[in-house]
Amino acid sequence: MHLSAAVRRRQSSFAKLSSRGLAQENLVTRLNLDCSTLCFRYTGTMLFMVMERFRNGDARAVGERFQGKGRMMPDNVKYVASWVDAKAMCCFQLMEAPSEEAMQPWVRAWEDLVEFEIVAVETSQEFWERLARESD
């Protein structure tokens, strides 16, 4: 399956679900995650869960820089989705990149405001398929 065809199908599904009145934010998150999984499979990029702990608990400083300068990511790094904990102390971001090293310019641009922890992850389906292959 060609990626652009898969993305077009996802966009069509998004339009159908939106017309049923489902929450747009939830659909966008689903669409992004589905596209991320497709990109991972077809482009060979890796998925990373990035935990950003706001230095001094200062989420506002991060928000202000983001509003002024954007994400400041290299071209080969893709933002997929993010979540902030209820206490606004930590942001969890799912990112797609060819390697952890590819994210380092982005990390350097934010490390004065954020402490990073980066973990390579894979979808559950990919994990179980890999485990089955390795045990054969």
Question: What distance in Å separates the CA atoms of residue 43 and residue 3, rounded to the nearest whole number?
Answer: 9
pTM for the whole structure: 0.65
pLDDT in tens, 18-28: 444 444 344 34
What CATH number matches the domain at 45-136, 3.30.420.40, 3.40.50.720, 3.30.70.920, 3.40.50.300? 3.30.70.920
Tell me, what's the pLDDT at 37?
45
Each as own residue / partner, the long-range contacts of residues 68-74 (CB below 8 Å, 24 or more positions apart, any chain) are: 71/106, 72/105, 72/106, 72/109, 72/110, 73/103, 73/105, 73/106, 74/102, 74/103, 74/105, 74/106
Question: What distance in Å separates the CA atoms of residue 37 and residue 31, rounded to the nearest whole number?
Answer: 10
In the chain, domain spans: 1-44, 45-136
Worst-scoring range by mean pLDDT, 4-13, 41-50, 119-128? Answer: 4-13
CB 67 within 8 A of CB 83: no
Question: What distance in Å separates the CA atoms of residue 114 and residue 118, rounded to the nearest whole number?
Answer: 12
pLDDT in tens, 95-108: 999 999 999 999 99
